[in-house]
């Protein structure tokens, strides 16, 4: 198939591209920098520069493709996340770019539109398992996630397959937020506020990428992308510390959540996310059932400098 993909140089996109190439698909990838485009071209991927906020330019670029996969985000660096204006570009990508891509896919006669989403739009569900129909409660910095999902629903309403992937908390050796987590653990602290008994659901970068590939065969709908076994916050950070051969860290005091505003409230939610729907419909399963296996693998990969390279290998 001819597939148009955004976010191709991010931590998920750069894992998705080689998998799609191996499957024999013809790819067009959007990349900002000339260096990134050159690397993609050498790997056999048609690479283009494109302003995703330019409706007409997006329509021209998407013409002739059968599938559109939108992984474009611009999450602020951890040090800037508390600044409201730091989320502006990410909001524009989710609100405007997603709509532009959905409309362009319809105009191109594409059969499928895949949209990245974020599972932290769910309300705190305590001990209950979180399914795709669980209540949503977007915060200030996640309201645009709902707009992005509407783009996929709009595509599906016109007869195509519109697929939304609600990703749990990512982790991997090349995650931008990993180093702050490690630094906090080495200082003896958990990095995120919240009750120690609350659930954290996560998914490795590799497993998230395999879910994107699985989305090419999914029926229209929303799908949670999470590992099999969410763990409680205390265990999550104990496991990270254990992978570093460190003692269990202390949890942050409650006032940290209050000072962190809506972002602190969001990350403190108890989300015991179920991946049952994706497993059943997409024959998908995570390689790492939980962070019990995932954290040691991530730290080992980081120590061995084994993170996936930014340069793709050319398909034969």
- Under the phi-then-psi rule, with left for phi > 0, alpha for psi from -120 to 50, and beta for the rest, what region is 138? beta
Number of domains composing the chain: 1
The residue written with tokens 């697929």 in the block is 163
Q: Report the distance separating Cα 82 and Cα 189, nearest Å.
A: 19
- Is 313 within the bounds of a domain? no
- Is 177 within the bounds of a domain? yes
- Is 139 within the bounds of a domain? yes
Give the helix ranges, DSSP H, for 111-230. Answer: 143-157, 178-186, 205-214
- Is 308 within the bounds of a domain? no
Better-predicted residue by pLDDT, 256 or 26? 26
Average pLDDT, the chain: 92
Structural domain range at position 188: 2-303
- Is 114 within the bounds of a domain? yes
Q: What pTM does this model have?
A: 0.92
Q: Report the distance separating Cα 129 and Cα 126, nearest Å.
A: 8
pLDDT value, residue 88: 84
- Find the CATH number of the domain harbouring 135: 3.40.50.720
- Is 239 within the bounds of a domain? yes
DSSP 79-137: GGTT-GGGGHHHHHIIIIIHHHHHHHHHHHT-SEEEEEEEGGGBPP-TTSEE-TTSPB-
**230-282: per-residue pLDDT in tens?**
999 999 999 999 999 999 999 999 888 888 888 888 999 999 999 999 999 99
- Are 124 and 270 in contact by the 8 Å Cβ rule? The answer is yes
């Amino acid at each position: 198939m001819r597939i148009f993909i955004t976010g191709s140089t991010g931590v998920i996109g750069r894992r998705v591209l080689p998998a799609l190439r191996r499957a024999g698909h013809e790819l067009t990838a959007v990349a900002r920098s000339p260096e990134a485009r050159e690397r993609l071209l050498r790997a056999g991927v048609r690479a283009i520069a494109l302003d995703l906020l330019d409706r007409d330019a997006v329509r021209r670029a998407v013409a002739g493709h059968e599938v559109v996969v939108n992984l474009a985000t611009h999450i602020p660096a951890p040090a800037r996340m508390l600044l409201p204006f730091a989320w502006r570009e990410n909001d524009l990508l989710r609100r405007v770019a997603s709509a532009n891509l959905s409309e362009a896919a319809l105009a191109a006669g594409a059969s499928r539109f895949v949209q990245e989403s974020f599972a932290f739009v769910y309300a705190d569900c305590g001990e209950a398992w979180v399914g795709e129909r669980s209540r949503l409660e977007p915060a200030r910095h996640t309201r645009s996630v709902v707009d992005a999902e509407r783009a996929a629903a709009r595509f599906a309403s016109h007869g195509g397959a519109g697929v939304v992937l609600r990703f749990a908390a990512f982790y991997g050796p090349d995650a931008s937020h990993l180093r702050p987590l490690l630094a906090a653990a080495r200082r003896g602290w958990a990095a995120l506020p919240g009750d120690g008994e609350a659930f954290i659901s996560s998914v490795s970068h590799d497993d998230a990428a395999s879910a994107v590939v699985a989305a090419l065969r999914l029926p229209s709908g929303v799908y949670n992308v999470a590992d099999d076994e969410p763990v409680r916050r205390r265990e999550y950070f104990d496991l990270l510390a254990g992978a570093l051969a460190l003692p269990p860290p202390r949890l942050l005091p409650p006032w940290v959540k209050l000072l962190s505003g809506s972002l602190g409230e969001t990350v403190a939610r108890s989300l015991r996310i179920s991946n049952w729907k994706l497993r059943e419909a997409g024959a998908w399963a995570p390689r790492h059932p939980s962070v019990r296996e995932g954290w040691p693998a991530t730290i080992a990969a980081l120590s061995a400098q084994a993170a996936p390279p930014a340069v793709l290998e050319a398909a034969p």
